[in-house]
Amino acid sequence: MKLLTIIGARPQFVKAAVTSRALAQVRPDINEVIVHTGQHYDANMSDVFFEELDIPRPRFNLGIGGGTHGQNTGRMIEAIEALLLEERPEQVLVYGDTDSTLAGALAAVKLHIPVGHVEAGLRSFNRAMPEEINRVLTDHVSERLFAPTQTAMANLSREGVDPARTILVGDVMFDAAMHYRERARQPGVAQSRYLEDAGFALCTIHRAENTDNHERLRAILDGLAALPLHVVLPLHPRTRARMQSAGIVAPDRVIVCDPVGYMEMLWLEMNCRIVLTDSGGVQKEAYFHGKPCVTLREETEWTELVEAGVNRLAGADAQRILSAYQALQSADMGTHRNLYGNGDAGECIARLL
Ligand code: UDP
């Protein structure tokens, strides 16, 4: 059976690595063809993941990135449709909530090729987020919905999705965190005795609602400056560009570096005191590695973490960021296990395809 996997952005490389490995192990009958849309193209946002996570090289790279949402999605649909007509796969697999996800799903479903959606059913209930639109639409045209959590299953059920199409498999990012943790590597940015002795916080910022609004971005950095420890901030290219154009400079104790590879990110997550992020994946990874998380948004798709008391929503408000940091000092990280499955989500998906 020929399966076309469509990916294009950093979190999708991590997720696809898990399924690709499982496919190679338990489904030798499946011929997986990987297509990279080109949505993320910097070496440290793309190539490093293929090298470190042993993802098979993409057979095709569409080279589509850098445009607006409409431009990217439109150009991707056109290019993916042409590829599907040429390759004629029996199934298509898409991941998460980016423009590559939606474009892949739409191109395939219109050619009557069944689509599997990994990380189905997530909702922020904030339709101003481009990711939310991508998720809702992808879920409703997909044939197989691989949900990571019970909350995601409930969301799909509420939207009237046929239960025969949905299945709770657990979270492939949990599989990844467990599988690769032994390969975690200390990045250069953390090799300072000062950081090692005093401990540090880890921060990532890349959501459009934060990067494209100077006031929010400034408020987040003010919040980081108010914390009583150093903060390591691997900076997403979009955030760096917005900070430069707005003349925003990182505060003294915030140590800015380029995006790091997955193994270095693992090390930072495993060795920091606390995580502050607007990323979906990094919120969960904080939990996987036993670290509390301040979420720099007004809502989260991973509500079970908030309910478990290990994640607090602080928006982009310096005072709320500091208060959340303080409140999380006494968070109980030891209980609430197995929120994200048993580490075999990739294998479940591979068997079900
Ligand atoms: N990540 C990484 N290096 C970084 C920042 C993030 O390897 O400098 C990884 C992170 O560990 C996680 C994934 O990228 O596995 C999350 O991607 P991102 O935050 O871009 O997207 P989101 O999860 O918000 O969709």
Q: Which among 140, 168, 196 is the end of a domain?
A: 168
DSSP 142: -
Q: What Cα–Cα distance (Å) separates residue 220 from each residue in 257, 269, 336?
A: 17, 20, 29
Same domain, 27 and 150: yes
Number of domains in the chain: 2
Q: Check if 205 has its Cβ closer than 6 Å to any atom of ligand 1.
A: no
Domain interval for residue 71: 2-168
Q: Is the CB of 282 under 6 A from ligand 1?
A: yes
Query: Alpha-carbon distance 35 to 15, whole Å?
Result: 14
The reply to whether 350 falls in a domain is no
CATH number of the domain enclosing 215:
3.40.50.2000
Domain end point (choices 133, 168, 203):
168
Pocket lining: 187 vs ligand 1, CB cutoff 6 Å: no
Residues annotated as catalytic are 206
174 in any annotated domain: no
Is the beta carbon of 175 within 6 A of some atom in ligand 1? no
Shared-domain flag, residues 135 and 189 = no
Determine, yes or no, domain membership for 175: no
Whole-prediction pTM value? 0.96
Q: What is the pLDDT along the chain (353 residues), one digit of tens a residue?
A: 999 999 999 999 999 999 999 999 999 999 999 999 999 989 999 999 999 999 999 999 999 988 999 999 999 999 999 999 999 999 999 999 999 999 999 999 999 999 999 999 999 999 999 999 999 999 999 999 999 999 999 999 999 999 999 999 999 999 999 999 999 999 999 888 777 778 999 999 999 999 999 999 999 999 999 999 999 999 999 999 999 999 999 999 999 999 999 999 999 999 999 999 999 999 999 999 999 999 999 999 999 999 999 999 999 999 999 999 999 999 999 766 689 999 999 999 999 99
**158 and 194 assigned to the same domain:** no
Atom of ligand 1 nearest to the CA of 277: 19
Mutate which of 94, 185, 211, 265 for ligand 1 pocket (most atoms within 8 A of beta carbon)? 265
Q: Are residues 16 and 136 in the same domain?
A: yes
Cβ–ligand 1 contact at 233 (below 6 Å):
no
Alpha-carbon span 123 to 186, nearest angstrom: 34
Strands (E), the chain: 2-7, 31-36, 60-61, 91-95, 115-118, 144-147, 166-168, 200-204, 230-234, 254-257, 274-277, 293-295, 311-313
Question: Which atom of ligand 1 is found nearest the CA of 269?
Answer: 11
195/333 same-domain check: yes
Do 123 and 200 fall into the same domain?
Answer: no
Residues 164 and 193 both lie in one domain: no
Q: What is the largest CA-CA distance in the chain?
A: 58
Cβ atoms within 10 Å of 222's Cβ, excluding its own: 16
C-alpha 281 – ligand 1 centre gap (Å): 6
